[in-house]
Amino acid sequence: MHELTLAESVLEIVGAAARRAGASRVTGVRLAIGALAHVESDTLQYCCEVASRDTIAADARFSIERPPGRAWCAACAAEVGLERWGMPCPQCQGFDLSITDGDQMRVLDIDIA
């Protein structure tokens, strides 16, 4: 389950940012996990909640946005949306696709007190 390792990394980022800001507590964290990022968002959210116990982010609310995947299709020379890996181009049904967006994971916002 790599989501637990990702959750621990998120908490390191959140903790470091909160300390730099002089915060005593983190109340919320908003993440963006692209549709093509190979991450189960429900599992990651659960892992963040569990891993945050006894940290500056204990009891913080973790929310996750799922930006869509995007790819460049060499066959029809168009940027297209993708819902998941392995999909053909929705315009030409080709598979000569280069992912351009939606495979990243980012911490968007950290709410502190």
Write out pLDDT tens, residues 4-50.
Answer: 999 999 999 999 999 999 999 999 999 999 999 999 999 999 999 99
Q: Would the pTM count as exceeding 0.95?
A: no
Scanning 39-84, the segments in alpha helix (DSSP H) are 41-51
Q: Alpha-carbon distance 100 to 4, whole Å?
A: 26
* Mean pLDDT to the nearest integer, 64-72: 96
Residue 35 resides in a domain: yes
User: Tokens 């030409």 map to which residue?
Assistant: 92
Residue 90 resides in a domain: no
Residue 44 resides in a domain: yes
**72, two tokens:** 């460049």
pLDDT at 108 over 60: yes
Tell me the residue range of the domain where 105 lies.
Answer: 2-68+101-112
pLDDT at 64 over 90: yes
Q: Write the CATH number for 32.
A: 3.30.2320.50
Residue 21 resides in a domain: yes
pLDDT at 1 over 90: no
**12, two tokens:** 């390191």
Count of the separate structural domains present in the chain: 1
What percentage of residues in the chain have a pLDDT greater than 70? 99
pLDDT at 3 over 90: yes
pLDDT at 70 over 90: yes
Residue 81 resides in a domain: no
| Per-residue pLDDT at 24 | 94
